[in-house]
Amino acid sequence: MRIAFVASECVPFSKTGGLADVVGALPPALAAIGHEVDVYLPKYRQTRLNNPRTLLRSVTVPFDDEYRFCSVLDGGTHAGVKFYFIDYPPFFDREQLYGTPAGDYSDNAERFALFSRAVLEASKIFGAPEVFHCHDWQSALVPILLKTLYAEDPAFRGVSSVFTIHNMGYQGQFPPETLPLLMLPWDLFTIGKMEFYGKVNFLKGALVLSDFITTVSRKYSQEIQTAEYGFGLEGVLRSRAATVTGILNGVDYQVWSPQTDTFIKQQFSPDDLSGKLACKQDLLADFGVTTPNLRLPVIGIVSRFAAQKGFDLIAQVIDRLAREDMVIVALGTGDKEYEDLFRRLNQQFPQKILVRIGFDNALAHKIEAGSDMFLMPSRYEPCGLNQIYSLKYGTVPVVRSTGGLDDTIEPWDARTNRGTGFKFSDYTGDALLGTIRQALTAFKDQTGWQALMRNGMGKDFSWTNSAREYVRIYEKSRQLRTVHNGEVVTV
């Protein structure tokens, strides 16, 4: 089967979050089981390509005010996957992918509309896929265009679309005049399509017009159909419940494994955990702790500093938590209030609350390897990857039971030596603090703790199983073909 991925980011070319990891890992897993996969991405300033060849010198994209002319670059073939980059410097040669600390770029609708239409036009030249697999609102116009302006294009006859939600909180909402600007028909501005409280909602349009909808964990696929997690689109998802599926993200164990990791001080395995202590000492030294007490548990955090990730709960309890016998090591960037909070705590507890503001891939690996626990108290978490990395590194997750965190972590039971971590349900600071204290108490029994570590290290969340589940969804989507007047028939 030929599958075309359409996404706004992908490692190693560009990244702001877990979306990039998925788009970097799932296509090679599909290629490995015999499928032909193309990946279409924007060419950002941050994208590094070695002497890229221009495949299409000019692709015309109409806008209401004027035409734009972009090109398509050859990104090469990697792990059996072909990469194409849409190049239009006025839209993509910028400091960041989506916006500045002051907010999103004001022309994001135009930027990603150009990207989506250029993908469709380019795919007619390079070969239309059987399935377009689109990710988040930035590529939402692809399934919308396939059902509207491109519905009569013979190049896409029988081509289906699968749309993956990575985070319902980001929907791509714009003023109504966006539709004529993008040369889209006004009949899309209805409550049954893209209209959402007086705005145009890209994500809603994709949820209505895609053939199948997936999200990145079973629990999250259920949560987003409720008012608490649906961000106003829960009714749309419930109306399409028969086509909504949760498929857990996998991880790339060639990158995230303590047995092969080149970023860490000493490699280790479930059979020989001794290297983890060396990693712990190296991690603390990286933060300036030269004479550490290695008997104290280290709690690691690698995250975007935002309320969604539970940092409002951490702020509620951090002063009480700082009195416990432990060390916190935090890496991340995000909302100013939480960055300032960690800076203050670091000044107040310079040997106990260790902080690095920013992103550092090598340090993220060191935190996974050198910590004893990993904290993820998210308000909501579609899938989460760090808790899965943590399991492989014997770093016990402490998580809230939401989304993929709930799907991947089993509560520890010291009586039976079963389980892989610690979970809490109520979104309160007291529930978080109580669960951390439960983990700190369990850490004192090192025999039981090592059994807990090995339980997690034995789990397998590789991409192969998830890739096969996606193939089943692709095959279902191929059974649907759009014909005149939007009628869907089975073939």
pLDDT 10s digits, 11-38: 899 988 889 989 999 999 999 999 999 9
Q: Which residues in the chain show pLDDT less than 50?
A: 482-491
pLDDT single digits (tens) 218-251: 999 999 999 999 999 999 999 999 999 999 999 8
| Three-state secondary structure call for residue 452 | helix
Q: Would you state the pLDDT for residue 102?
A: 83
DSSP-derived pairing of the beta strands 422-424 and 396-400: parallel
pTM of the model: 0.89
pLDDT single digits (tens) 433-443: 999 999 999 99
Burial 445-472 (b: 16+ CB within 10 A, else e): eeeebeebbbbbbeeebbbeebbeebbe
Q: Would you state the pLDDT for residue 490?
A: 35
Q: Would you state the pLDDT for residue 50?
A: 87
Q: Would you state the pLDDT for residue 97?
A: 96
Q: Would you state the pLDDT for residue 356?
A: 96
Q: Would you state the pLDDT for residue 252?
A: 86
Q: Which CATH number fits domain 274-460: 3.40.50.300, 3.30.1220.10, 3.40.50.2000, 3.40.190.10?
A: 3.40.50.2000
Establish whether domains 2-250+464-490 and 274-460 are of one fold. Answer: yes
2-250+464-490 has CATH 3.40.50.2000 classification:
yes
Please list the residues that pair with 300 across neighbouring strands.
329, 374
pLDDT single digits (tens) 373-424: 999 999 999 999 999 999 999 999 999 999 999 999 999 999 999 999 999 9
Q: Would you state the pLDDT for residue 481?
A: 55
DSSP string across 22-54 = HHHHHHHHHHHTT-EEEEEEE--TT---SSPEE
Contacts of 361-367 spanning 24+ positions with Cβ under 8 A: 361/263, 362/263, 363/286, 363/331, 364/302, 364/331, 365/256, 365/261, 365/263, 365/264, 366/263, 366/264, 366/265, 366/279, 366/282, 366/283, 366/286, 367/283, 367/300, 367/301, 367/302, 367/329, 367/331
Sequence ranges of the domains in the chain = 2-250+464-490, 274-460
